[in-house]
Structures are given as structure tokens and as C-alpha cells.
Structure 1
Amino acid sequence: MRKLFTCGLLLCAAHTLWAQTNGDNSKLKQLGTELPTPNTYRAASGAPGHEYWQQKADYQIEATLNDEKQSLKGRETITYTNNSPDVLEYLWLQLDQNINAKGSDAQLTETNKIGDGQQSFGALRFLEQDKFEGGYKIFSVKDNTGKALPYTINKTMMRVDLPRPLRPKSSVSFSVEWSYNINDQPKLGGRSGYEFFPEDGNYVYEIAQFFPRMAVYDDVNGWQHKQFLGRGEFTLPFGDYKVSLTVPADHVVGATGELQNASQVLSAKQLQRLEQAKKATKPVLIVSQDEAVQAEKGKPKGTKTWSFSAKNVRDFAFCSSRKFIWDAMQIDVAGRKVMTMSYYPKEGNPLWGQYSTQVVAHTLKSYSKYSINYPYPVAISVHGPVYGMEYPMICFNGGRPEKDGTYSERLKHAMISVIIHEVGHNFYPMIINSDERQWSWLDEGLNSFVQYLTEQLWERNYKSSRGEPSKIAEYMKSDKSLQAPIMVNSESALQFGNNAYAKPAIGLNILRETVMGRELFDFAFKTYAERWAFKHPQPADFFRTMEDASGVDLDWFWRGWFYTTDHVDIALKSVKWSRINTQNPETENDLTRKEQAAQPKSYATMQNEKLLKSTLTDEKPELKDFYTTYDPLKVTPQDKQKYERYVASLSEDEKATVNSGLNFYTVEFENIGGMIMPLIVRMEFEDGTDSVARIPAEVWKLNDKNISKVFVTKKPVASFTLDPYLETADADLSNNSYPAKLTPTRFQLFKESRRPQPNPMQQEKQGTETKPQDGK
């Protein structure tokens, strides 16, 4: 309904109408005590401080793979440099393989249960754990003169006591000898292990966390020696590696770093193919499928030793098998030559031969655009038992087609996505080296975000599983007892995939597209990567850098999205339409007449018009008087004179305003979910055109629960829609429209049966539609 305004009231109504507030709006309070106090090591800007330091750990490793017993034995020499201002009396090492020891904390603290009815063998993994003789055997720890050093093993950590304190700017070298049994990854799980192929009697090994590794000592935690329970991954110092791997003579090995003795372990033909790969525009087969199949048939005696070197990396991993097909292609990344490669058994084809190395190359170029230029000479994707795990320059990925070579679209995208994700981990956290043991989201969330950007650059409208805000809405509005804030320890996060991967990734996408804009966001995000490349960032360093480099106050976003379990549910509560009263009696009275005519009649009035034959005044006209025919909206000379006096009192600007014909809509918004967001309001006009208003989140600064906003338009608005492009992860779209919109849903009737995953490629290959069998 039209509401009448005087010019004086108009000036007030054109501003936002604020609801009363108590003066303590926690949603927009700055992050104060939540963030650590800046210091000389970590600046208030989010950059490393002028006295920032970090430790260095260099390794020389010799390891031997036993293909008959599926075990690994090795010796390493560690040179540890103390760049801290502190004196260290002992060192801490990580013994990750002890997670597989019987009675480990990881096994004891894993919750599980036996349900009624059917139970898969996989659910009984704890029985396999009880059979497996896992964990390290430490044979010796010695100093550089060969003298034994005292050490204490505390589950997945080992303390080495130094004969004399390690002073600042000093180094110490010591050696460790060890062995362990390699886990059957499909049966026991884990981040590395082997897969056995009964068809040909061979193994594929993906080996990581295979040697005792230095823990991080930093300015935030001192020693980061929180026990390894499985989910919270790793915190590791950078260093240089020289690694020699002795394996069966017919094995093909891929590893972190550059191969140092190619002429000793590769044939002349393989060396020639590697040279061809340096100039190729598509992957070149170093070992073909036919050659790999031939190698599967024989198991010659003897061994070969493959030597690798890697500089300024935080870890080392490798793969080994006689089943491997190996392809490679060299690419240029900002002037640096990088060899992209893939290792995979024949069971991975045709998917792996067609896509893997191309995805590796694409990922390096995309991540270099948004982060830093890829600095290493090699990047490898390996197909084996581990579906997705990352290490410097090498990663383990899943995605295996059917035995007939066909695959579903879903499987294809899953394989491409996991390769992008794991290769992307070279940047987060292998280079931008965050503390995974404490903050999974700081590597998984940031990496999942850039993964989304990379997927969209791979193929238009790529079906990304994480990235679009609408995909996180259901999780965020779910039972709060089943959620934890993003800013929680890795082991305590509930719904880990949503908490550490999807929610932070989608939050960054909202910042990029809706809150900050791409230009500001991309500059700030890249600044963070450049500042903390080859260093150890903390969450506060990320939060502060994003604000420092963009000039955008984001404390409200970090507080709501990362520190709480609030969700986004902003309701468009009501709309009131107003127009200026021109006080022109001819115009205003005519509008009033039309409005009155448009008013709905009551049911009683409609019944009287239909059933009431006559009234008393109809029967007795003498009862009628002046008011029987009086028209209160008839314009009188007095009305015209009053209007003329009013117009004469106005300035030219005031006359223009009065006669502008503007429409004023007072829209009320209610924050139901608790998480504030910018308001994106689409107004569709009666003539079919539309306009979108974008209002920053600071609109909630005086009241974070209920606010109202006046929208001024030249054309009448037919409808309002809040968050029309699904930008803010609003969990309830039913209250986002005015007038309210009904959205139909569809349901399907079906017979009870288990339906196989669609595989159109297989169906076409077979020439017939695969039909589900009832009850199977």
C-alpha cells in the first residue's frame, strides 16, 4: 500500500533505519585476544618479523626395500642446525610408523562399534591391526664419532639426549638405524603402504614417513611433538636430502628430488625417451605398458640402487614396483623447466595414461598463478593403494577404471580432482609450510580452495565438489552438537571433510567473489604465499596478511566463519512500499481512488451484493441526504488553492524531488543463523528489468540481529530476492524472497533395489543397457 510522506520525513527515510542496539555487537568486534600478540618473529602485518628464524635438518639416507617380506631397512645421518636463540639440550624426532604398532594410541583412541546385521570386512580393520607387526625397530642412535647417544621413545616420538647443549647458530650430526614392516594399505589403511596384485603376484609400493624425521622447533610451540594419531598430519623443518634406495633390479622408482644416477639404473632406450620428454608437448612413455606387463612376468634376482637429491624440502617419499608404466613431459613454469611425470600399473589405464601427467602440468601452472611459481625441478603423480596423499614433488592418487577399461564420469572427475589436490599440496603445506599437526584447515582448506580454481580452469563448468557456497549450507545448518569451529585442533574436528576442507575453501571463495572482489583477494592471497614460502606460518599470519595486503577489515568474517559454528540464514522479513505525496489533489486523489478500488472486498460484502435485494434507503429515498452522494475525493477549488500555496513555497530542487515519482521500499532483514554476511538484493521491476544492490557486511554494525534498509527506485518493484546468485551459503532460501516464492520438488517412485553407479561408457561398449537386478 502507498504510504504518504512529507519532504521533511523523506530525508530521514532515505537513510538506513537502525534497530535499537545494546552497543556490544560481538559479530563485528575486532579479533583481539583470539590472535597472539605480534612480536619480532611475527609482525602485526602478518609478515615474518625482522628476527624470524627457523631450524634446518639435512638428511643422508640409505634404505633397502625387501620385496619378499614387504619390509624396509635403513640408516640415516641427520645434520641439525639450531637457528633459534635458544640452547637445546635434546632433540625430538617423529616415529610415524609407530602408529602401526600394536596398542598404539591411534588404535586405542579410535572409536568404533559393531552394528546389527551385515558387517563389512573393512569395518573389522582392528582385527588386521592386531595381526600386523608394525612400528619401528630402532637399532642404534649414534653421534658422528660412532658413540651411542641415549634416547627415549615415547610412542610416536623419540627424544635424543645430546652429550652437550646445542647452542644458537650451531649444528650437530647423528645417525639412526631402523627397520619396519610395510603395511598392507587396502587392509590396514594409512598414508603409505603396499598393494598386492594376486593376478600377477606383484606389489606396488608407495613409501612415506619411512624414516625417523625431525620435529619442528619454532617460536610458537617450542617443540611440536604432539603425538601422531593419524588425522593431524605433519610439521617438519626444511633441509637438503641425499637418498639412496636399493630395490629389486627390475623395479622402477620415482621419488622426491632429481635422479642422480640415471645412466646406472635406466636402459639406453629409457634415457633416450627421457631426453625426448624434455621437448615433448604431450607425455612420452619412458616405460610402456607392454614393457611393464613383460616385467610383471619375471622376478630376477639382484638389486639396483637409485640415488636422489632434493634441496630445501621438508620431507621425502618414493614409489617402487616392477608393474609401473612411467610417462613424462617437461613444461615451463615462469621460466623454470619442470619435469612432470606419472607412475602407474596397467590397472590404471586408460585413465592414467590419458590424464595424469597432463593434470600435474595444469596444476603447477594454475597454482603458480595464484600462489608462488613452482620452485622444484620435478612433480610426480603415482597410482597405487593410497587414494590421496602428498609429499614434496611426489603424491599418491586413486582413480581406477573398471577391468574392461571403462569408467564413469564421476570416477574420471574424482581422479582428476584428487591429482589436482595432491599435486597442489606441493604449495600448501610443502612450501607454505603450516603446522598440520595443529591446523589441518590451513593446508587442506587453502589447498581445496585453489583446487577449485584449478578445476574451473581445466574444464568449463567442471563439477567441483568443493567451492560453491551452496554446497556447504546443509552442513552449516546441521545439528551444532555435530560440528566444531574451523579453529580447532585437527584431532578434535568433527565431520573432518566439511570442517577442514570444504568450509574454509568455500569461505575463501565467498571472500574472493562477494566480500573483497577478485583483484583485492588475489593480491592478498598471493602475498601470503610469497611471504611464507619456505617458512612456518600460523593462522594469525594468514588472517593478518589478508587484511594487510587488501585494506579490507575481515575480522567479522574470521570470527564468524572460523571461530564459531554459526550459519548463514538471513531472512527478508518484510517490505513496505512508499511514495512521495505530491499534495497535488488531482494526482493524489486519483491514486487513492485507484488504490481503494484495488482493495479486496470482504466476503460479507460480496454476499450482500449477490443476495441483498435492497436496503431501506433504496426503498425510502427521503432518507438520503448530502452524504449519500458525497465524494470525498472530488477536487475542490480550496484544494487547488492549498496546493498552489504549497508549490510556491518549494525551491526548484524540492519541486524536482516531489515530482520525481520515486519509489521507496523499506526492507527488513533478520539474521536467524547468527553469521552476518553482505546483503545481495535483486530487485525485479514490473517492466521485467532488474537491478542488484550489494551492501557490505558492516550494515550490521549497530545491530547484528534485525536491520532495515530503504531502497529507492525510479520504477515499481515487483519482487525482491536476497542472495539471488547463491553467494553466501544461505541455509534457508525459503525466506529470501518477497513476495514468497514456491519452489516445487519432485519425487520418484521406484522398486526397492541396489542400483549400480551409472557407467555410460561401459553400457555403450557392451551395446546394451546395464539393468539392475532386484535385490542385488
Structure 2
Amino acid sequence: MTHPCAVRRVLFAAAAFALSVTFAPLPGKAQPPAGQRRPQLPDTGGRSATYDPLKTFAPFAMPDAVNSYRSGNGAPGPAFWANQADYEMHASIDTATQTLTNDEIITYTNNSPDMLNSLWLQVEQNTYRTDSRARTFAGGSRRPGADQSSEGTVFESMELMGNGKNAKAEKATYVISDTRARIDLPAGLAHGAQIKVHIKYHYKVPGQWGGRTSVGKSKDGYEIYDIAQWYPRMCVYDDIRGWDTQPFLGNEFYTEFGNFDNYITVPASMLVAGSGVLVNEKDVLTKAQIDRLAQARTSDKTVMIRTVAEIKDPASRPKQDGTLTWHYHMDHTRDAVFSASAGFVWDGAKINLPGGKTALSLSFYPAESAGDEGWGRTTEYAKDTIENMSHDWFSYPWPVMTNVAGFSSGMEYPAMVFDGINSKNKGLFVVTAHEVGHTWFPMIVQSNERRDAWMDEGFNTFIDIYESDQFQKGIWGPKRDGEYAPGGGFPADEIAKIIADPEAPVMLSRADAIREKYRHPITYFKSAEGLYILREEIMGHEVFDRAFRKYIKDWAFKHPTPSDFFRAMASEGGEDLDYFWRGWYQNNWTMDMAAKNLKWVDAADPSKGSVVTIVQNGQLVIPTWIEVKFEDGTSTKTKLPAETWMQKATFDMAITSPKKVASVTIDPEHRVPDNDRSNNEVKQ
């Protein structure tokens, strides 16, 4: 038997021989003398007076940490939860006093791991009170006008009820705080438990616009009620802040998902457009309207359900006197709204969705808006937008999309939007595509709009860019409007001027703190351009689309934060994007690249090619195309990756062709926001 020590000696000798072979000098490769290191390469890096690589490429600290609720890959974690709020509402409008009255039951489910000792409601009609915080808030056009004031929401009663069969109602103890109300619970609401809140209230509907709810008259004298932010609703309780109770100052919404049953009683002469599916067609429509609605569900062309000529025809309503109650139902939604008028034209068409599924596009509008230059095409616009965005990003989840022409123009809600009565042609297409596009952000992927408005307005503006290119092969593209490149030029050049403004806020600012002057330029334009740069310049279509679709799918009907988005795109996209998150979102860093010193490597030997120096003068780094034009009329393009600037501020770019170079141009197509294009070209 061989002794174990002998075996170990043999194995050690074999290992030593293997190491000597592994690290033996390569044939023909010069080696430094024994005991000396290889000579160090010359250091061509370092910072300049205006660019510090260590600052741009420093690790980026995400605003929120990873935990069991939110994973490091940007997806919801294994312990993620969200509470649910279901609503049953019995509302009516007194047209003589323009007063809305509602009998509301909220069923609230606590899915959090916490014991809740109170509930918080949003009571947004209180923004019209003369003592509301919005009155002194410098929020620009979204602040209530001096002539728009009311008592706000007037509570008639509020009761708490358990969820059992024999549960008894108990008068609620509550405190109003501006546009919020805190309800004290007599006993804690444990994980998995439900409670019902029964509220009776009324409020006077404000006039035109009115901060997203309104009443006004069409030219033919019919009132149009656009009813939104109309019911006390649950604030979000989440894993980030617990109760998120920001007051309503003008920015939009953060609400829980749930199921809605809305019963809306109005004069029988009125049509009611509502979020979701009309449950009781036979009670509120004529036989002809029911048949036309059924036809619209299977028609790719717009079907008239109620024509202009029928507005004044008594036969277009099932009865002429008294009231009718319309019942709309919608599942898995964060909100539900409605509009009512006796003067509505109504049309619809089928929406074709992935997997052979369909939905219904509907439009309601007054007679003055009718015609092919106006609202006669809005159903077509909404249909096209939903079909394209469903194919590109995530399939439309609800059975209906409704667009209403009223006085709350340019506002979006789940499965229903309000647009302008007087909008026509391209302007009407643009606003329809934008408001319908909000389906994806924030109606499906619901970020916190009151804190991070850029995550819905900017993301939606981004997907609008491609809808403008797609509709009838870009007949009204490219997208250039008040939301994106309003000057009509290169978006990169326009955004460069905005981020160079020292007063411009960064995107990671609280939404309410962004002045009206910068709301569209930063919240819409810069956010959209950031995604456009990610897709077109940094990640490429295939990689970006896969990552962005996964982000949407992962966070559908949930509440992502900026950190979730940043992690999702970097993880699935396979790129370290810290430099871009810091430069574009956390700061308003500017970009300035310069070309200089174009020359032959060896003037006596053209075969050695040419060299040009590219300089990084700005702190913002984005991968950028460099175009080389030769004197014979040919040209080449090379993209310099972000890593070019990880250690240095200057780069000597080799041009290996022996042909004489006529010029070198940085970003010839104006794809990146270079702040100074006067130094982008050098000639030999």
C-alpha cells in the first residue's frame, strides 16, 4: 500500500509542473528581466476643467433600498403587497342647482402586514374652499380661479361597518384636513381584514375647467357635466411611507386599485358616458341605440349610435320625463369618472387587441364638434392608439375606452378621457393619443403622480412619439407639440437649452415643487427624451423594448417608484446606467463634446491613417456618433460608447483609412443634447 505522504508529494509535484506550464512565457513575447515589472503604459486620462470622470461614473445611490417588497432587479419582491379599495356609488345630479349628491360605500381591504388604527381619505373637492391650501399655492393654471369657490365636499353622514352579516353601522369619528380626511378606527384593522365606510355627501359642481371637474354649455345650449375627483377615496397605504396623504394642490393622483359599481341618476334626456361597461343598456337606451352599439363592437369603421340630427328627436331617448339611472361597472381600476349631457352625439368602433381579443372605442361630443375635421374621427384616433400601444408595450386591459368632448379638456382617467370641444385635425389627434396613452402610465403602471409626475407624463409622452410616427404612416408626425420639442426643431437641441437653464428643476424633484414654467419642459419633455435616448442611443430597440415591456408587465396594477424603474431597466437591459441616472434624472448636467486636431498620423505615410482628438467638456455623458467624411465623397460613422469617458476627458480617435479626411463631425444628426455645436466639426 502506498503511503499517503508519498501520494501527496506526487500530487504537489504535478501541480507545480502544471503551474510552470500555465505561466510560462509565450513564444516570441518579450519579457521583463527577472525581478522587474512590465513598464507602465502612459497615463492619458484624468479630468479637465469642466469634466470629471469620477463624478460622472461614481456609484449611484438609489432613492429607495432593496427589500423583500421590492427586488434588486426592479420587480416587485416576494413579499410585495398592495391594499384594495372597492366602491359602490349611487350618485345623482340636480341640474337646477348643479349639485352632485352621492351615497357611497367603500370596502377597504388591508393587505399590508401592519395593524391600521386610522384610515385616510382624499377629499379633493375641498380644493374649491376659500381656505384651501391650493388657494395660496403658486401652481399656475391648475390652481382654482378666484371666481371658483364652494363649500367643497359637504358630508351629511359617515358610518363604519364591519364585513360580517350581522355587522352594525357605527358613526365614524373623523377630522377634515384640507383635501384629506382622517377616520379614527374604534379597533385596529388587522392584516387581511376588511372594513366598510358608508358616506353620504354633496357638493356644487364648479364652472368650466374647474381643476378637472366642470359644467358648461355647448353652443346649442346643452349642459355638459364632466365629473371627476368627485368622491371621497382612499389614500394609498404602501411600503414606502405608510399613509401617503399629500394634499391636492394641482398635480394628479395616487390611489388604490379596486372594483367600481357606479349608479348615476340624471334627467332622462341625458346620455351618460362612464368608465367601464354599461351594465343596463335596456334601461337607458332605445332599441335602435342598442342595435347600433352591438354593431360598433364588431366594426372596424366608426358606427353612429346617436347622430347630430337625433339630439333634438325625443325618440332618441327611451322616455322624455323624469330620470334614468345608468349603471357602469369596472374592475381592477384606480378610478372611475363620468360625463352627462342631453346634447351628446355618440359613435363607436371595435378595437383589435393581441391574441384575437377586442375592445370598444366610444366617443361622446356636442353637435358643434362633429365632422371629419373634428370629433367625427376621435374614435378612429383612440382605436389606432390603443391598437399600436397594445402591440408595442402591453395589451389594453379593459373592455371599453371612451373619449368625451367637454370643458375639462385634456384629462385622463382609466378607460375614459376628457378632451377639447374645439380641437380639430392634428391637434385633436395629438391630445387624443396623449390622453389615451395615459392608459399605460399611470392607469396600468401607477406611479405616484403627486411625487413623481415625470413617471407618468414623461413616459406617456415617450410612447406618444411612436404613435405619431405610426398613425397613417406618420401623416401628423413627427411629434412636435407643447409636450415634446415645442419649437418644432431637433428635440435634442431644444432639451439642451432647457437643462442649461440654472433655474430648471431636476426630475427627481417633488412634482408640486416644479414651477408652471418648467412643468412641461421637465416633467413631460425631458422625461420623454430620457427614454428616447435610452432606446435610440444607449440600449438599442431590442434590448430597451424587452426591458421596458418587462417593467410594465411586472408593475401592472401596482405602485413602482423611481428606484424600481432604474433597477428594472439596468438589470434587464444588461447595462450599468448609473452615469445616466445621475446625469439626466438626479442632475441637469449638460453635454458638450468638441472635435479638434485632425491630422495624418504620419504625413509622409498616408497608409498609417489619420487621428482626431475628441474632447468631453460637459459632465453629461451619452454614447455619440462620430462621422468621418473623406475627400472622395465617402463617409463612415463610429459610435463612441459611454465607457470612452470613464477615465479621461480627451480621446484620440484613430481613422485607419489611408484616404484623406475632409472633416470629422460629432453627432451630425443632432441625436444627443450637445449644448455647443460650434465645436462639433473639424476639417483637415
TM-score (normalised: structure 2): 0.87
Counterpart residue number, 1:668: 614
CA shift digits 1:149-172 (9 cap, x unpaired)? 100110000011111100001111
In the alignment, the residues of structure 1 paired with residue 574 and residue 657 of structure 2 have an alpha-carbon distance, to the nearest angstrom, of: 31
Secondary structure at the aligned position of 2:325 is classed as strand
* 1:586-597 correspondence to structure 2 within 5 Å: none
Q: CA deviation at 1:531?
A: 0.5
* 1:127-206 correspondence to structure 2 within 5 Å: 127-129=146-148, 132-144=149-161, 145-186=168-209, 189-197=210-218, 199-206=219-226
State whether structure 2 residue 504 is matched by structure 1 residue 504. no
Find the partner of 1:41 among 64, 69, 72.
Answer: 69
Q: CA deviation at 1:275?
A: 1.3
The 1:567/1:176 distance shift into structure 2, 3 A limit, reads: same
The 1:362/1:562 distance shift into structure 2, 3 A limit, reads: same
State whether structure 2 residue 120 is matched by structure 1 residue 92. yes
Q: CA deviation at 1:353?
A: 4.0
State whether structure 2 residue 248 is matched by structure 1 residue 228. yes
Find the partner of 1:693 among 618, 629, 638.
Answer: 638
Larger Rg: 1
Counterpart residue number, 2:367: 346
State whether structure 2 residue 46 is matched by structure 1 residue 20. yes
Counterpart residue number, 2:133: 105
- Cα pair 2:593 2:614 within 8 Å, conserved: no
Counterpart residue number, 2:106: 78
The 1:355/1:24 distance shift into structure 2, 3 A limit, reads: same
Q: CA deviation at 1:707?
A: 3.9
Secondary structure at the aligned position of 2:558 is classed as coil
- Cα pair 1:16 1:710 within 8 Å, conserved: no
Secondary structure at the aligned position of 2:152 is classed as coil
The 1:326/1:123 distance shift into structure 2, 3 A limit, reads: closer
Secondary structure at the aligned position of 1:168 is classed as coil
Find the partner of 1:255 among 274, 285, 299.
Answer: 274
- Cα pair 2:366 2:421 within 8 Å, conserved: no
Secondary structure at the aligned position of 1:242 is classed as strand
Counterpart residue number, 2:673: 729
Amino acid at match of 1:38: V
In the alignment, the residues of structure 2 paired with residue 509 and residue 66 of structure 1 have an alpha-carbon distance, to the nearest angstrom, of: 48
Amino acid at match of 2:272: V
In the alignment, the residues of structure 2 paired with residue 729 and residue 49 of structure 1 have an alpha-carbon distance, to the nearest angstrom, of: 36
Counterpart residue number, 2:14: none
Amino acid at match of 2:638: A
Secondary structure at the aligned position of 1:428 is classed as helix
Counterpart residue number, 1:517: 540
Counterpart residue number, 1:276: 295
Find the partner of 1:447 among 450, 460, 466.
Answer: 460
Q: CA deviation at 1:552?
A: 1.4
The 1:498/1:287 distance shift into structure 2, 3 A limit, reads: same
Q: CA deviation at 1:576?
A: 3.3
Q: CA deviation at 1:24?
A: 6.2
Find the partner of 1:370 among 392, 399, 405.
Answer: 392
State whether structure 2 residue 377 is matched by structure 1 residue 355. yes
In the alignment, the residues of structure 1 paired with residue 675 and residue 531 of structure 2 have an alpha-carbon distance, to the nearest angstrom, of: 18
Q: CA deviation at 1:26?
A: 1.2
Q: CA deviation at 1:354?
A: 3.3
Q: Where does structure 1 lack aligned partners over 5 or more consecutive residues? A: 1-14, 113-121, 402-410, 583-659, 741-776
Q: CA deviation at 1:677?
A: 1.6
- Cα pair 1:92 1:214 within 8 Å, conserved: yes
CA shift digits 1:455-488 (9 cap, x unpaired)? 1111444141256793253454356343000111
In the alignment, the residues of structure 2 paired with residue 664 and residue 738 of structure 1 have an alpha-carbon distance, to the nearest angstrom, of: 13
Please tell me the root mean square deviation across aligned C-alpha atoms, in Å: 2.5
Secondary structure at the aligned position of 2:601 is classed as strand
- Cα pair 1:474 1:731 within 8 Å, conserved: no
In the alignment, the residues of structure 2 paired with residue 387 and residue 685 of structure 1 have an alpha-carbon distance, to the nearest angstrom, of: 54
CA shift digits 1:594-623 (9 cap, x unpaired)? xxxxxxxxxxxxxxxxxxxxxxxxxxxxxx
In the alignment, the residues of structure 1 paired with residue 579 and residue 535 of structure 2 have an alpha-carbon distance, to the nearest angstrom, of: 15
Secondary structure at the aligned position of 1:548 is classed as helix
* 1:543-622 correspondence to structure 2 within 5 Å: 543-579=566-602, 581=604
Amino acid at match of 1:449: F
In the alignment, the residues of structure 1 paired with residue 601 and residue 421 of structure 2 have an alpha-carbon distance, to the nearest angstrom, of: 60
In the alignment, the residues of structure 2 paired with residue 702 and residue 271 of structure 1 have an alpha-carbon distance, to the nearest angstrom, of: 69
Find the partner of 1:329 among 349, 371, 391.
Answer: 349
State whether structure 2 residue 282 is matched by structure 1 residue 267. no
CA shift digits 1:353-380 (9 cap, x unpaired)? 4320111111111211232111110111
State whether structure 2 residue 332 is matched by structure 1 residue 312. yes
Q: CA deviation at 1:123?
A: 12
Q: CA deviation at 1:16?
A: 11
Amino acid at match of 2:153: Y
Q: CA deviation at 1:247?
A: 0.8
Secondary structure at the aligned position of 2:607 is classed as coil
Find the partner of 1:422 among 435, 444, 453.
Answer: 435
Q: CA deviation at 1:285?
A: 0.8
Q: Where does structure 2 lack aligned partners over 5 or more consecutive residues? A: 1-40, 162-167
In the alignment, the residues of structure 1 paired with residue 427 and residue 535 of structure 2 have an alpha-carbon distance, to the nearest angstrom, of: 25
Counterpart residue number, 1:290: 309
Amino acid at match of 1:30: P
Q: CA deviation at 1:280?
A: 1.3
TM-score (normalised: structure 1): 0.77
- Cα pair 1:575 1:668 within 8 Å, conserved: no
Counterpart residue number, 2:513: 492
Counterpart residue number, 2:80: 52
Q: CA deviation at 1:178?
A: 1.0
Counterpart residue number, 1:678: 623
Say how many residue pairs are matched. Answer: 623
The 1:535/1:57 distance shift into structure 2, 3 A limit, reads: same
In the alignment, the residues of structure 2 paired with residue 296 and residue 563 of structure 1 have an alpha-carbon distance, to the nearest angstrom, of: 60
Counterpart residue number, 1:593: none
Counterpart residue number, 2:479: 464
In the alignment, the residues of structure 2 paired with residue 353 and residue 191 of structure 1 have an alpha-carbon distance, to the nearest angstrom, of: 21
In the alignment, the residues of structure 2 paired with residue 38 and residue 731 of structure 1 have an alpha-carbon distance, to the nearest angstrom, of: 36
